[in-house]
Amino acid sequence: MKIKMYVVDLQIPRRTKRIALLLGVPVTILFGVVAIAYASITTFNPGDPLSSATMNGNFSDLNSRLTAVEGAIDAGASNSPLGAIVWRDTTGAVVPVVRLLADSNPQGVFEVLDPISGAVWDMGVWNPPSITPTSLVGSVYTSANCAGTEYAAAPPPSRYSFTDASGANPGVFYVVPDGIIQTQFTPVSFNFGGGCAPWTMASVWGVPYTSLMTVTPPSALPGAPPYHPQPL
């Protein structure tokens, strides 16, 4: 009996990939790297006695073939035309760097996705390190004199941290939750950090502060800086 397995790499963890292969779960093509493996195993008919040696042989054969397939896929992904990379620290451990923002100091300023808060922060690799929100966002209001519903004016995408430029919420950091769609409207007043004033411009996109999530910045940089990129 021949079992044909079509294996497509999605850059998922090796353990998850192995389970998916064992169960024959199809995976969406991400890097366009496809490998096909044929595994010949011993089959049993009704009434045949089960043998631990035969069963172990089947699993051993399947394991060796899956290992070969995974190695081929991993090798192919490193030559991905998408140029996918990961960032690593001085020990070689992967760190959740999104991108390099600036190289204005010897070790750089990075956007980093903090796994605890689930938010992206700007992190400067110097002594002492700096951890700041990615944006400073002004506030617009539905009533005069900065009253009524307060909106974050044109906030960054979901999960990118920011703080309120109006000063109405000092020391509080926010993110737009996943799935929240910004509303386009014409405010009546605004405060972008220079005090309250009437709004005289066109409409603006915003999210009510009551719809935002608060987040806490991490206390330290991830891993052991400095960081460096490496192809997958």
Q: What is the pLDDT of residues 192-205, one digit of tens each?
A: 999 999 999 999 99
Q: Which domain holds residue 123?
A: 85-133+219-231
Residue 48 burial by CB count (10 A; 0-12/13-18/19+): exposed, middle or buried? Answer: exposed
For 47-91, the pLDDT digits (tens) are 778 778 887 877 787 777 777 766 655 555 445 545 688 999 999
User: Do 139 and 211 reside in the same domain of the chain?
Assistant: yes
User: Do 226 and 118 reside in the same domain of the chain?
Assistant: yes
What band does 23 get if pLDDT is binned at 50, 70 and 90? very low
The region of weakest confidence among 64-73, 155-164, 215-224 is 64-73
User: Do 6 and 44 reside in the same domain of the chain?
Assistant: yes
Neighbouring C-alpha atoms within 13 Å toward the C-beta of 34: 8
pTM of the model: 0.63
Count of domains for the chain: 3
Task: Write down the pLDDT at residue 41.
Answer: 74
pLDDT cut 70: percent of the chain above it: 75
Secondary structure of residue 62 in the 3-state scheme: helix
Domain boundary among 31, 50, 77: 77
User: Do 69 and 7 reside in the same domain of the chain?
Assistant: yes
Q: Which residues contact 212 (CB under 8 A, 6 or more apart)?
A: 152, 155, 174, 175, 176, 177
Give, for 53, the enclosing helix (H) or strand (E): helix 52-77
Q: Please state the rounded mean pLDDT for residues 213-225.
A: 94
The region of weakest confidence among 11-20, 40-49, 196-205 is 11-20
User: Do 109 and 152 reside in the same domain of the chain?
Assistant: no
Task: Write down the pLDDT at residue 29.
Answer: 35
User: Do 177 and 151 reside in the same domain of the chain?
Assistant: yes
User: Do 108 and 155 reside in the same domain of the chain?
Assistant: no
Domain boundary among 77, 101, 125: 77
Sheet holding 109-113, edge to edge: 97-102, 109-113, 120-124, 130-132
Q: Which two tokens stand for residue 55?
A: 């069963």
User: Do 13 and 49 reside in the same domain of the chain?
Assistant: yes
User: Do 163 and 197 reside in the same domain of the chain?
Assistant: yes
Q: Please state the rounded mean pLDDT for residues 101-123.
A: 89
User: Do 42 and 63 reside in the same domain of the chain?
Assistant: yes
pLDDT above 50 (res 167): yes
User: Do 223 and 124 reside in the same domain of the chain?
Assistant: yes
Task: Write down the pLDDT at residue 127.
Answer: 78
- The better pLDDT of the pair 146, 102 is held by 146
- For residue 222, the one-letter residue type is P
Task: Write down the pLDDT at residue 79.
Answer: 52
User: Do 120 and 227 reside in the same domain of the chain?
Assistant: yes
